[in-house]
A and B are shown apart, each in its own frame.
Chain A
């Protein structure tokens, strides 16, 4: 099973709202990723967690706050977003050891900021 699940599927929020995106995997993967994808563009890396610790922050604005409560879960907390933050937010996971480099993506959360 190579399934990564994400909730919600769609989210509409105002610029003053606080919301959270959730991601879950049960493959025992130790690295988890958040990507942002704009239309007709490749995924753009935001954050990487490795063994539940934040290992990469690609200079993402502080209105995006990641959290990794345990090895299976990844959250992205959203606050005071801007309309330009509207995009597809993708979660991915990877084994990251034993020579396994495949990343598996979830279906994404389509975020619209009004």
Chain B
């Protein structure tokens, strides 16, 4: 079945450094790739997304890149801050039929002050 691999499972960086989280998907029908940030005790929050007709998207310190040929997409956070500490989930979504989200396994990011 469809799956999304996400790496690393945990990531510790010093404040001000960059963090990169990578996902690989299997379903060729996936055309939409959102990223969620989940803080402790809260629901997932959509932070950035990308569609298959775009290779890169940036929003301030956050960027996402997509290589549709290789079925890879990545989240890049620059100038990390302690408040970036959270669990991050990627997802791959087919944009026809059920729009069922296939989530990655999550990355726990710790930004050390």
Residues of A within 8 A of B (CB): 2, 4, 6, 31, 40-43, 45, 48, 55-56, 90, 94, 96, 99, 101-108, 110
B43 and A105 contacting across the interface, CB-CB below 8 Å: yes
**B residues less than 8 Å from A102 (CB atoms):** 34, 46, 49
Q: Find the B residue at minimum CB distance from A43.
A: B103
**A residues less than 8 Å from B105 (CB atoms):** 41-42
**A residues less than 8 Å from B93 (CB atoms):** 101
What is the minimal beta-carbon distance from B103 to any residue of chain A, in angstroms?
A: 4
User: What is the 8 Å Cβ interface bit string for chain B, positions 18-38, against chain A (1 contact, 0 not)?
Assistant: 000000000000001010100
A101 and B95 contacting across the interface, CB-CB below 8 Å: yes
A104 to B43, CA, bound (A): 9
- Given contact pairs A42-B106, A102-B34, A103-B34, A94 touches B99 in the complex (Cβ within 8 A): yes
Q: Would you mind naming 29 contact pairs between A and B with Cβ atoms under 8 Å apart? A: A2-B46, A31-B99, A40-B87, A42-B89, A42-B104, A42-B105, A42-B106, A43-B89, A43-B101, A45-B100, A45-B101, A55-B98, A56-B98, A90-B43, A90-B44, A94-B99, A101-B32, A101-B93, A101-B95, A102-B34, A105-B43, A105-B44, A105-B45, A105-B46, A106-B43, A107-B43, A108-B42, A108-B43, A110-B41
A60 to B98, CA, bound (A): 17
**A residues less than 8 Å from B49 (CB atoms):** 102
What is the minimal beta-carbon distance from A53 to any residue of chain B, in angstroms?
A: 13
What is the minimal beta-carbon distance from B4 to any residue of chain A, in angstroms?
A: 9
B106 and A40 contacting across the interface, CB-CB below 8 Å: yes
A103 and B46 contacting across the interface, CB-CB below 8 Å: yes
Q: Find the A residue at minimum CB distance from B4.
A: A42
User: What is the 8 Å Cβ interface bit string for chain B, positions 63-94, against chain A (1 contact, 0 not)?
Assistant: 00000000000000000000000010100010
B100 and A56 contacting across the interface, CB-CB below 8 Å: yes
Q: Find the A residue at minimum CB distance from B87.
A: A40
What is the minimal beta-carbon distance from B34 to any residue of chain A, in angstroms?
A: 7
A43 to B38, CA, bound (A): 11
A41 to B108, CA, bound (A): 11
**A residues less than 8 Å from B99 (CB atoms):** 31, 94, 96, 101
